[in-house]
Amino acid sequence: MARLPLVVQSDLTLLLEVDNPLFDEARDALVGFAELVKSPEHIHTYRLSSLSLWNAVAAGISDTEILARMDRYAEYPVPSEVESFVVDQARRYGRLRLKPAPDGDGLWLTSEDGPLLTLISRQKSVMPYLSSSISPGFRIAPEMRGLLKQALAKLGWPVDDQAGYRSGAPLEVAFRDRTLHDEPLVIRDYQRAAVSAFWGQGDALRGNGIVVLPCGAGKTVVGIGALIRAQCHTLILTTSVAALHQWRQELLDKTTLTPDDIGEYSASKKDIRPVTLTTYQLLSHREHGVFHHFETLDEHDWGLIIYDEVHLLPAPVFRLTASLQARRRLGLTATLIREDGRADEVFALIGPKRFDMPWKQLEAQGWIASARCHEIRVRLSDAGREAYALSEDAERVRIAAENPAKLPVVETLVDEHQGDHILVIGQYLRQLDELSAKLDAPILTGKTPVKERERLYQAFRDGDIPVLVVSKVANFAIDLPDANVAIQVSGTFGSRQEEAQRLGRILRPKADGKTALFYSIVSEDTREQDFAQKRQLFLCEQGYRYDIAHADEHGLPLDSTPAAVIMFPTSIQEKSQ
């Protein structure tokens, strides 16, 4: 009898055998409730956590189903300690509920578990938010709603917020039958399901939560669907002015909203309309300790707030969001991963994960492009290795990232992909400037004016620019549907979310059905190689695997393979075709 692929250990780690025939099936079963920790060649390690289990339950996966999935693929019996942890943590979500107070005065934190109410009422971090007793439970001032949920989540007691929301000023809006380009507007089944999961139905009406979908899968349409369901004035928070303009285009293209209905609140414009778009940067701007822009926007009667790329929520916006709990809140993201460990605050203040769909499942259905990932390792020169050895940690990161041996590799890849739409993505401006000059390709960085950025993006879409060199400003919320090759030359340490976003730049479905190719060029035997392994975790969890190839310090194949096959072994070359 064939071995099953999973070993569940009493320390809450799950070991999944990569070479087992059931690997893909088991991985898809695990991603709904476990987090990938590491992914070397043969065994992937997952971990159960309180937050991963709370999100699973909020998304509709019960403790019984979680245990059944582990039992189905486990070679050995699931340890009783793990079973107890799953049941305990899964059943914590919803034990505490926040509702309107029975007498209409404020909010009511309640539970059917009296001893639990007594326990939390004696916690110093919670006591300031409990205004008085109202059996069974406690009266909560509305302005303390978010702060209370934060405090309770940190104590391990997530709150099911059923306190209701403002309706907001009414707004009549609907999807168009046809886009502005006179094409039929098709809302995909999973997009409708995501809106329904966020909104709830019947007695389970909701108004807070996060929808997780890969880049290119139409998260914007989900946000628009929520807006149409809400039929109210809506504030949309974005990562940049370029993303703001893209949202505006999508709203005009897919809804009955007119230009007069949509406002831009940015550094150059301060228009507040029924649907208003702004940026996290402007919202969190503070002068003399006061968030003036936030206060101005907060005065409006919004019924829904949409957080685009919610995993990037900056610290000041966390604090501001704590005061926005009376408004419905939808977070959109490709990944819930936060490298700063504040995922619990996203959970408490925006809401739990309501909908998630595996990337490879969407790929199989043709909604995102198929992709292949390749890591190319290059050596430092002898002089580079000596400089690396003698430098401090921070400088070592830069030396590895700016390794000159990466440049001929990029040139070779660009030559091999003539006729493709290529993004060369990096972190360090000096390196990007050099690549821009060598490739005779325009460069786009944070210093590029907004109008020039949008001109370059459009020229790239139109095919007038085949290669575009971009910094991290292009990581997020930019629609470049024809991009099919990404070459990453440097990144932000071990940021998994950045790896996911950069792959996402090339996942829009291709008209010709071409496979997207993602190359990551890494300096061998350096911290950058360690960072690369961490960065790849999220994509490995989604079912992507990295083929690894090597080049020497001149960017040439170690085995002197002819340039026509770049530097990849035959097996990799075949996968890329």
**Which tokens in the block code for residue 547?**
């083929």
pLDDT for residue 555: 55
CA geometry: angle at 274 spanning 270 and 279, to 5°?
45
pLDDT for residue 174: 97
| Predicted confidence (pLDDT) at residue 561 exceeds the cutoff of 90 | no
Lowest-pLDDT range, 131-145, 185-199, 563-577? 563-577
Residues β-bridged to residue 102: none
CA distance 193 to 173: 20
Asked if residue 329 lies in contact with residue 350, where contact means CB atoms within 8 angstroms, the answer is: yes
pLDDT for residue 321: 87
Q: Using pLDDT thresholds of 50, 70 and 90, give the confidence band for residue 552.
A: low
Give the relative orientation of helices 241-254 and 219-230 as an angle to the nearest 10 degrees.
60
Asked if residue 450 lies in contact with residue 241, where contact means CB atoms within 8 angstroms, the answer is: yes
pLDDT for residue 369: 84
pLDDT for residue 476: 59
Indicate the length of the chain as a whole number. 577
Lowest-pLDDT range, 143-147, 531-535, 567-571? 567-571
CA distance 495 to 484: 22
pLDDT > 90: what percent of the chain?
54
**Which tokens in the block code for residue 102?**
């029975």
| Predicted confidence (pLDDT) at residue 543 exceeds the cutoff of 80 | no
If we measure between CA atoms, which residue out of 17, 71, 77 comes closest to residue 5?
17
pLDDT > 70: what percent of the chain?
92
- What are the pLDDT digits (tens) for 260-310? 999 999 988 999 999 999 999 898 888 888 888 988 999 999 999 999 988
pLDDT for residue 477: 52
Q: Which residue has the higher pLDDT, 572 or 522?
A: 522
pLDDT for residue 545: 75
**Which tokens in the block code for residue 335?**
């990944």
Q: Using pLDDT thresholds of 50, 70 and 90, give the confidence band for residue 575.
A: very low
Per residue, what are the HEC states of 67-130? HHHHHHHECCCCCHHHHHHHHHHHHHCCCEEEEECCCCCCEEEECCCHHHHHHHHCCCCCHHHC
Q: Using pLDDT thresholds of 50, 70 and 90, give the confidence band for residue 564.
A: very low
Sign of CA pseudo-dihedral 215, 217, 218, 222: negative
pLDDT for residue 404: 92
Q: What are phi and psi of 46, to 5 degrees?
A: -110, 165
Asked if residue 90 lies in contact with residue 57, where contact means CB atoms within 8 angstroms, the answer is: yes
pLDDT for residue 357: 82
| Predicted confidence (pLDDT) at residue 518 exceeds the cutoff of 60 | yes
Cα atoms in the 13 Å half-sphere on the side-chain side of 279? 18
Lowest-pLDDT range, 140-149, 181-190, 337-346, 415-424? 337-346
Find the mean pLDDT for residues 56-82. 95
Question: Which residues, including other chains, have CB under 8 Å from residue 332's CB and lie 6 or more apart?
Answer: 210, 211, 213, 219, 220, 222, 223, 306, 307, 308, 309, 310
Sheet of 467-470, strands arranged across = 443-444, 467-470, 422-425, 485-488, 516-523, 371-378, 546-551
CA geometry: angle at 560 spanning 559 and 561, to 5°?
90
Mean pLDDT, the chain, integer: 87
Sign of CA pseudo-dihedral 165, 170, 171, 177: positive
| Predicted confidence (pLDDT) at residue 236 exceeds the cutoff of 60 | yes
Q: Using pLDDT thresholds of 50, 70 and 90, give the confidence band for residue 1.
A: low
Range picked from 107-111, 425-429, 493-497 for highest mean pLDDT: 107-111
pLDDT for residue 365: 86
Q: What does each C-alpha distance from 94 to 111, 113, 137, 170, 234 come to in angstroms?
A: 9, 11, 14, 31, 28
Find the mean pLDDT for residues 186-214. 86
Q: Using pLDDT thresholds of 50, 70 and 90, give the confidence band for residue 362.
A: confident
Residues β-bridged to residue 444: 470
- The yes or no reply on domain 363-576 and CATH 3.40.50.300 is yes
pLDDT for residue 568: 38
CA distance 240 to 513: 30
Q: Is 159 helix (H, G, I), strand (E, B) or coil?
A: strand
CA distance 388 to 400: 8
> pTM for the complete prediction?
0.83
If we measure between CA atoms, which residue out of 47, 56, 48 comes closest to residue 90?
56
Asked if residue 488 lies in contact with residue 376, where contact means CB atoms within 8 angstroms, the answer is: no
- Write the single-letter amino acid at 459: A
pLDDT for residue 494: 58
**Which tokens in the block code for residue 538?**
């999220």
pLDDT for residue 577: 33
Find the mean pLDDT for residues 100-104. 91
Fold classified for 189-357: Rossmann fold (3.40.50)
Q: What are phi and psi of 422, to 5 degrees?
A: -115, 130
Do the first three CATH levels of 189-357 and 363-576 match, i.e. the same topology? Answer: yes
Alpha-carbon Rg for the chain, nearest whole angstrom, is: 25
Ranges of each domain in the chain: 6-92, 96-161, 189-357, 363-576
Place of tokens 């950045």: 498
Place of tokens 């007038």: 464
| Predicted confidence (pLDDT) at residue 227 exceeds the cutoff of 80 | yes
| Number of DSSP helices (H) and strands (E) in the chain, helices first | 23, 23
Find the mean pLDDT for residues 118-130. 94
Per residue, what are the HEC states of 217-270? CCHHHHHHHHHHHHCECEEEEECCHHHHHHHHHHHHHHECCCHHHEEEECCCCE
pLDDT for residue 478: 64
pLDDT for residue 92: 94
Give the relative orientation of helices 63-73 and 50-58 as an angle to the nearest 10 degrees.
110
Q: Which helix (H) or strand (E) holds 576?
A: helix 570-576
CA distance 401 to 395: 10
